[in-house]
Amino acid sequence: MLKSNLVMSQNVTLAMSKVVEIELSKDLQEDFESYLAVCESLGVEPRINSFLYYTSNYGTYANPKEGEWE
């Protein structure tokens, strides 16, 4: 019984996964490669949503967003 639940769980995961290709600018590509290296060194699973959230708020290393101070 446990084995059949495990197989069903794997099938659900596979059915939900998608392959998405996004072309990145040179700045984003360099930052993404750096992000992947950090995730690997920390033993953390990289998540594209986390990376995109960060860059949308702070920009890239070569082109940072200017913060507005109150």
Amino acid identity of residue 69, one-letter, is W
User: The whole model's pTM is what?
Assistant: 0.60
pLDDT band at 68 (very low <50, low <70, confident <90, very high): low
Q: Are 28 and 34 in contact (CB under 8 A)?
A: no
pLDDT tens digit string along 4-40? 444 444 544 555 677 778 788 888 899 999 999 999 9
Domain boundaries, the chain: 22-63
